[in-house]
Structure 1
């Protein structure tokens, strides 16, 4: 399987970037492909008004690397893992911009939007978060946005790794061992149980009496 891991922190050696690297390593350990990409390497601008920004063919005219990363790395991936620090109780601006810029390619004004929409759907999604605060709800806004993206794109939110730290590398000293958790998360990303029940979902009485659980 193929995974796209996005590190959205402006710190290449920051805590969430470390978690992203561990997840990518875990994916590779189990034979999967893992593209680890840093947002600052390709994302140079925010979403604009598409009515004035598109060129005459309907393509996005923002001249940075988002197009190639989105079309050639994100869309072909079976799974997407985003890593972000908690900034003002939300995601990094880079991660928010990554989601915002998708609109340029699935909006009807883009000539290939129908194909983009089909390839956006049915991915497995994961999240890696670092924060200074250990308050349980510190990442609630990030989790909610990611869950809503999963719902909107008919994808499966597999889970989250959350490490605590402030200075660079501090997450390695977290007694909760998010480094080990991130490596394990990568190793079982494509096989771990992921359920999202509805009131009328048919489900077994015992959770672990079957080999594998898939969300839908």
Structure 2
């Protein structure tokens, strides 16, 4: 299985990066093929008006590394988004990742059907870093990733949040977010996921009672 870890912070030694490395460590311990990318190495521009800036062959004309990053995304079986919380939302780099995908799944792209098919049915994880511990600070982001996951028929399997201000300070968070991030990476493809609808057939138990 292939896991893509996307870091939405420009700080290579920041708290988001520390948590992302924990995800990678956990995934590799489970034998997962892991790719970790810092988004600002690949995204140099926000989404433009595709009707005016596409190349004659339908490809995106923005000359940065997003196409390669998007190919990594299409090829993976799961992705963990690691972002700092800025103004109670995702970082601009992380939001730009979602926005830029539009160019490739829009009907005006020559291979949009392929992109749509490969964007779907992934395992999704979310890792957040914030200065404050206020629980509500993450709610808007969790909702956005939840809706992205449901829109793409993906499984949103876990959220980890750590607190810290100085770079790397998250390792001192007594709630243990680095261990939780490592566990998320290790379990991303095996963690139980259920999201019931009214008519969903289901067992009367959630967890097996067998020892």
TM-score range normalised by the length of the shorter chain? over 0.9
Give aligned pairs, total.
210
1:36-75 paired onto structure 2 within 5 Å: 36-71=36-71, 73-75=72-74
Equivalent runs, 1:90-101 vs 2, <5 Å: 90-101=89-100
The aligned residue for residue 23 of structure 2 is: 23
For 2:17 and 2:209, the matched residues in 1 are separated by 35
Alignment-derived partner of residue 104 in structure 1:
103
Cα distance in 1 between the residues matched to 2:25 and 2:70 = 22
The equivalent residue for 1:214 is: none
Q: Which residue in the other structure is 2:35 paired with?
A: 35
How far, CA to CA, are the matches of 1:157 and 1:97 in structure 2? 20
CA distance in 2, matches of 1:19, 1:201: 35
Aligned to 2:162: 163
1:174 and 2:173 correspond: yes
For residues 67-216 of structure 1, what are the structure 2 equivalents within 5 Å? 67-71=67-71, 73-209=72-208
Deviation at 1:188, TM superposition (A): 1.0
Q: Deviations over 1:88-134 (max 9, x none)?
A: 00000000000000000000000000010000010000010011111
**Segments ≥4 residues shifted beyond 6 Å:** none
**Aligned-pair Cα RMSD in Å:** 1.1
Distance in 2, matches of 1:15 and 1:201, equals 40
TM-score with structure 1 setting the length:
0.95
Q: Report the secondary structure of 1:75's partner residue.
A: helix
